């Protein structure tokens, strides 16, 4: 079996945040790719830089945050070059994005049907009726019942799960090849989560769309993704193209700890096994550059640092 | 309870809004149909019948030049309302566009425009308007230009502030990731979310403008004499106050107050309506 071409390639991405006049390395040495038609899960705890990595693709970084080196290539062309002109040309049609919080990611004063076809209408000469028909088709495709009635609803008339379905309908409206998912199920009930994940599975098989799925829920990744990258403190600690390998035989201690971390309803709140402290916040983090990854076998690499190093990622110098 | 009945209930409860709309529509109707409501020409003088109180012929009386006061009130309302509305529309449109652009793009254009706005508001409103009218010369168009030059700032600031809030919302990012152009994001996503605040302000701004126009005419600036207007009626009537002809001043003043009340009610009612909706 030959490996399919990569639709998205990260190479040595470094992102720096300027906070109170000082630069801090938020993301360092992030390299991975998403193969055509495949799904990669990007996992990590809050503040590990997974969302920042995702936002860098879309150019949605906050104004004090910038990419300092590396490249993000979509279909072989760097998105960070030419002042974002190429990126602009693939937004919607090539790459689209589903956000975490569907209640704020939809315009409250615009009918959902219009929002679904907003980017489609931008690039085609669909008239109002055709756009409405298309919106109804898309709503049907993402499993919204009675789309003919719902198409003229406003977001506040929908439940959270329905809103997320609307977001997904908007994301697939222009037939993108890659969908970026920024924790799309985090804000939803567990039962709705399962439905949304099923929907993503269905879209994967029907539309052959590739996914880059950011989440802190490793269970979601297990269910939906082929490949996984685990992030900690802005670095990748372990990543593998075949997700089964990491679940049966995790190599990095952090991954092991993450996989064995099953929250107990009656137990005390625990840190991950072997970690002394929580992950350091950005300004408390060591500014040392991440060492190159060690390859265990093709398509499987881990960071060469151990737990003791993770604990030492706290900066030794004190900041006021 | 369905959404529609909830909205209906909300409207019924909002008594002030309806009262305001009723008053304003009445005043507008009187101004528009002025020619049907009186048989007198508002500028036709009849010195033989000057300074008469209510008579069978002139039921609100006549002024010092024998002009019918009822007729002058109607036609004066036409002048003042039209000018006040026009002088709201222009700054409303200009200020909203400028505010949305500044808030959305930020950067040097925002800094520049907002500093210009600071300079404009640094002057007291009346001082600036009066000096502008003085420079531009009397007349309806100079009042319109003077008010527009000054009051776009308020709209720009309101809309800019609201835009800054909306700008940070995720649905704007979502629209950007959909590859929608900035112009469309502003017109389709930003403006519908920020315009309401500007509309509410516009209602109170019309009140303010009527005040400004009346004040300017009272000072002898602005609207040129033969044209009937409430401000000049008040100021011309003043000299006859001592003679007991108080109605020359009081009647146009009542007209100003009623109109302003109506507009204020609408402004308050709208503000309440939109607050509840949020």
* pLDDT average, residue stretch B140-160: 90
CA nearest to B147, candidates B200, B88, B195, B105? B88
Which one has a higher pLDDT value, A18 or B203? A18
pLDDT at B47: 67
For B:26-45, CB contacts with A below 8 A are none
**A196 contacts A190 by C-beta, under 8 angstroms:** no
User: How close is the nearest chain A Cα to the Cα of B193, in Å?
Assistant: 7
pLDDT tens profile A53-72: 999 998 888 888 989 988 89
pLDDT at A122: 84
Least confident of A65-74, B45-54, B262-271: B45-54
pLDDT tens profile B203-258: 888 888 888 888 888 787 877 777 788 878 887 777 777 777 777 888 888 888 99
Band (pLDDT 50/70/90 cuts) for residue B278 is: very low
List of chain A residues whose C-beta atoms are within 8 Å of the C-beta of residue B181: 122
**A50 contacts A236 by C-beta, under 8 angstroms:** no
User: Residue A166 sits in which domain range?
Assistant: 104-173
Q: Give, rounded to a whole angstrom, the gap between the first and last alpha carbons of chain B.
A: 18
To the nearest whole percent, how much of chain A has pLDDT over 90? 23
* Cα–Cα distance measured from residue B175 to residue A110, given in angstroms and rounded to the nearest whole number: 12
Please indicate if any CB of chain A lies within 8 Å of the CB of B183.
no
Band (pLDDT 50/70/90 cuts) for residue A307 is: low
- Provide the token pair at B97: 């566009």
User: How close is the nearest chain A Cα to the Cα of B108, in Å?
Assistant: 14
**A239 contacts A221 by C-beta, under 8 angstroms:** no
Q: Which CATH superfamily, name and number, covers B3-277?
A: MetI-like (1.10.3720.10)
Q: Residue B111: pLDDT above 90?
A: yes
Q: Is residue A237 part of a domain?
A: no
Query: Which string of b and e fits B21-60 if b means at least 16 CB within 10 Å?
Result: eebbeebbebbeebeeebebebeeebeebebbeeeeebeb
**A173 contacts A138 by C-beta, under 8 angstroms:** yes
Residue of chain A minimizing CA distance to B166: A107
pLDDT at B73: 85
Could you tell me the CA-to-CA distances from A184 to A36, A167, A168, A259 in Å, in that order?
A: 21, 10, 9, 21
Q: What is the mean pLDDT of chain A?
A: 84
pLDDT tens profile A216-246: 888 888 889 999 999 888 888 889 888 888 8
* Cα–Cα distance measured from residue A248 to residue A244, given in angstroms and rounded to the nearest whole number: 6
Q: What is the DSSP letter of A290?
A: P
Band (pLDDT 50/70/90 cuts) for residue B157 is: very high
- Taking an 8 Å cut-off on Cβ atoms, the answer to whether A119 and B179 are in contact is yes
Q: What angle do CA B190, B150, B77 make, to 5 degrees?
A: 100
Could you tell me the CA-to-CA distances from A196 to A46, A164, A211, A268, B6 in Å, in that order?
A: 22, 8, 14, 31, 32
Q: Residue A3: pLDDT above 70?
A: no
Please tell me whether residue B182 adopts helix, strand or coil conformation. Answer: helix
Which one has a higher pLDDT value, B277 or B143? B143
Residue of chain B minimizing CA distance to A173: B178
pLDDT at A311: 58
* pLDDT average, residue stretch A30-42: 90
pLDDT at A219: 84
Band (pLDDT 50/70/90 cuts) for residue A319 is: very low
pLDDT at A229: 92
List of chain A residues whose C-beta atoms are within 8 Å of the C-beta of residue B174: 97, 99, 105-106, 167, 170
Structural domain spans, chain B? 3-277
Please indicate if any CB of chain A lies within 8 Å of the CB of B168.
no
User: How close is the nearest chain A Cα to the Cα of B239, in Å?
Assistant: 55
Q: Name, in order, each residue with C-beta under 8 angstroms of A284's C-beta and a sequence gap of 6 or more.
A: A314, A315, A319
Q: What is the mean pLDDT of chain B?
A: 82
pLDDT at A317: 43
Band (pLDDT 50/70/90 cuts) for residue A318 is: very low
Band (pLDDT 50/70/90 cuts) for residue B100 is: very high
pLDDT tens profile B166-184: 988 889 988 988 888 889 9
- Taking an 8 Å cut-off on Cβ atoms, the answer to whether B181 and A97 are in contact is no
Mutate to test the interface with A, among B177, B194, B276 (most CBs of A within 10 A): B177
For A:44-73, CB contacts with B below 8 A are 58, 60
Band (pLDDT 50/70/90 cuts) for residue A320 is: very low
**Which residue among B169, B173, B178 places its CB closest to the CB of A170?**
B178
**Which residue among B3, B177, B184 places its CB closest to the CB of A96?**
B177
- Taking an 8 Å cut-off on Cβ atoms, the answer to whether A104 and B184 are in contact is no
If you average pLDDT over each of A149-158, A256-265, A272-281, which comes out highest? A149-158
Residue of chain A minimizing CA distance to B184: A122
List of chain B residues whose C-beta atoms are within 8 Å of the C-beta of residue A160: none
Number of domains forming the structure of chain A: 1
pLDDT at A1: 45
* pLDDT average, residue stretch B180-199: 90
**Which residue among A60, A106, A110 places its CB closest to the CB of B192?**
A110
Please indicate if any CB of chain A lies within 8 Å of the CB of B170.
yes
| Burial environment of residue B66 by CB neighbours within 10 A (0 to 12, 13 to 18, 19 or more) | middle
Residue of chain A minimizing CA distance to B194: A109
Q: Is residue A261 part of a domain?
A: no
Which one has a higher pLDDT value, B66 or B197? B197
pLDDT at A89: 87
Q: Residue B1: pLDDT above 50?
A: no
pLDDT tens profile A178-215: 999 998 888 888 888 888 999 999 999 998 899 999 99
Least confident of A50-59, A62-71, A298-307, B195-204: A298-307
Residue of chain A minimizing CA distance to B191: A109
Band (pLDDT 50/70/90 cuts) for residue B115 is: very high
């Amino acid at each position: 079996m030959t490996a399919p071409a990569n639709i998205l390639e990260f190479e040595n991405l470094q992102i720096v945040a300027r906070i109170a006049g000082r630069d801090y390395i938020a993301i360092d040495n992030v390299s991975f790719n998403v193969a055509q038609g495949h799904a990669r899960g990007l996992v990590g705890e809050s503040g590990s830089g997974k969302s920042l990595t995702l936002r860098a693709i879309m150019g949605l970084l906050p104004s004090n945050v910038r990419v300092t080196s590396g490249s993000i290539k979509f279909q072989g062309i760097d998105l960070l070059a030419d002042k974002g002109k190429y990126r602009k040309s693939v937004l919607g049609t090539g790459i689209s994005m589903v956000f975490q919080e569907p209640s704020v990611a939809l315009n409250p004063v615009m009918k959902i049907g219009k929002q679904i076809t907003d980017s489609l209408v931008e690039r085609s000469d669909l008239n109002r009726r055709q756009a409405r028909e298309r919106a109804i088709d898309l709503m049907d495709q993402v499993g919204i019942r009675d789309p003919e009635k719902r198409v003229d609803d406003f977001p506040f008339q929908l439940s959270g799960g329905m809103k997320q379905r609307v977001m997904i309908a908007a994301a697939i409206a222009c037939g993108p090849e890659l969908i970026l998912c920024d924790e799309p199920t985090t804000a939803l009930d567990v039962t709705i989560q399962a439905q949304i994940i099923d929907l993503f599975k269905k879209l994967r098989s029907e539309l052959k769309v590739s996914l880059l799925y950011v989440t802190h829920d490793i269970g979601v990744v297990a269910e939906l993704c082929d490949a996984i990258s685990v992030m900690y403190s802005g670095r990748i600690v372990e990543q593998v193209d075949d997700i089964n390998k990491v679940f049966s035989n995790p190599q990095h201690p952090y991954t092991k700890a993450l996989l064995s971390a099953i929250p107990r309803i009656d137990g005390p709140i625990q840190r991950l096994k072997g970690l002394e402290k929580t992950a350091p916040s950005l300004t408390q983090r060591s500014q040392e550059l991440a060492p190159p990854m060690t390859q265990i076998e093709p398509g499987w690499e881990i960071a060469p640092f151990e737990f003791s190093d993770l604990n030492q990622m706290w900066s030794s110098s004190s900041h006021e | 309870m369905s959404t529609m009945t909830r909205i209906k209930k909300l409207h019924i409860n909002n008594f002030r809004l309806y009262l305001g709309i009723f008053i304003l529509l009445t005043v507008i109707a009187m101004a528009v149909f002025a020619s049907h409501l009186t048989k007198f020409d508002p500028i036709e003088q009849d010195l033989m019948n000057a300074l008469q109180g209510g008579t069978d012929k002139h039921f609100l009386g006549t002024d010092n030049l024998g002009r019918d006061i009822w007729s002058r009130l109607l036609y004066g309302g036409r002048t003042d309302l039209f000018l006040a509305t026009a002088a709201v529309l222009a700054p409303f449109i200009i200020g909203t566009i400028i505010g949305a652009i500044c808030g959305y793009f930020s950067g040097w254009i925002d800094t520049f425009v907002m500093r210009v706005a600071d300079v404009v508001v640094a002057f007291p409103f009346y001082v600036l308007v009066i000096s502008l009218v003085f420079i531009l010369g009397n007349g309806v168009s100079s009042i319109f230009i003077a008010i527009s030059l000054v009051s776009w700032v308020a709209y720009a600031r309101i809309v800019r502030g609201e835009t800054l809030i909306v700008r940070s919302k995720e649905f704007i990012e979502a629209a950007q990731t959909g590859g929608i152009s900035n112009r469309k994001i502003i017109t389709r996503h930003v403006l519908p979310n920020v315009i309401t605040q500007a509309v509410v302000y516009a209602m109170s701004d019309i009140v303010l403008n009527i005040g400004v126009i009346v004040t300017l005419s009272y000072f002898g600036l602005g609207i040129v004499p033969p044209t009937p207007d409430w401000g000049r009626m008040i100021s011309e009537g003043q000299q006859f106050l001592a003679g007991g002809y108080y109605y020359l001043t009081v009647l146009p003043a009542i007209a100003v107050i009623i109109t302003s009340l109506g507009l204020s009610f609408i402004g308050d009612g709208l503000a309440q309506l939109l607050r509840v909706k949020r």
